């Protein structure tokens, strides 16, 4: 029994060694690819990435090929929620309550908006005196100040 036991232990050790060799052989191409990818990432570590603004002031000295591209003039204009809310308020004749404003936003831009975000944006705009509330729920654009026309007096024209 001890001979069979020793043979099985030896066979098990050989299998473990073969498994290790096979694992290293199978991992070798992946490890080489991983190392080359890591080297490429290290080389690009300081370079600005697409879609991100550079943090440092060194971007002025960068070649034009690495600077962000100007947006194309074609296609839809990207608008902030603030702009969309103000446009929707301008399109309404009088004071607008939140549900009516939400409906106007969804119809105009064909997408859904979160009511809480629209309310927060209205409050931010109100702090800047760009919108006013008539009642508890009615929002409107403030009246624009009419330009004052100054007439020249006849004494100045002489």
Q: How far apart are alpha carbons 4 and 10 in whole angstroms?
A: 10
Residue (of 35, 37, 34, 64) closest to 48 by Cα position: 64
- Per-residue pLDDT tens over the stretch 4-43: 899 999 999 999 999 999 999 999 888 889 898 988 888 8
Write down the mean pLDDT value for the chain: 77
What is the reported pTM? 0.42
Bridge partners, residue 132, by sequence: 140
> Looking at per-residue confidence, does 87 or 68 come out higher?
87
Tokens at 56, concatenated: 């440092």
């Amino acid at each position: 029994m001890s001979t069979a036991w020793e043979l099985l232990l030896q066979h098990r050790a050989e299998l473990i060694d073969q498994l290790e060799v096979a694992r290293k052989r199978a991992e070798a191409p992946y490890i080489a690819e991983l190392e080359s990818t890591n080297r490429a990432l290290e080389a690009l570590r300081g370079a600005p990435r697409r879609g991100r603004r550079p943090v440092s002031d060194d971007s002025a000295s960068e070649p034009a090929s690495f600077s962000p591209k100007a947006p194309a003039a074609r296609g839809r204009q990207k608008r902030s929620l603030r702009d969309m809310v103000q446009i929707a308020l301008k399109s309404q004749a009088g004071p607008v309550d939140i549900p009516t404003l939400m409906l106007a936003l969804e119809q105009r831009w064909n997408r859904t908006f979160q009511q809480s975000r629209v309310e927060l944006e209205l409050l931010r705009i109100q702090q800047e005196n760009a919108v006013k509330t008539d009642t508890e729920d009615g929002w409107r654009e403030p009246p624009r100040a009419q330009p004052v026309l100054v007439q020249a007096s006849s004494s100045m024209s002489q």
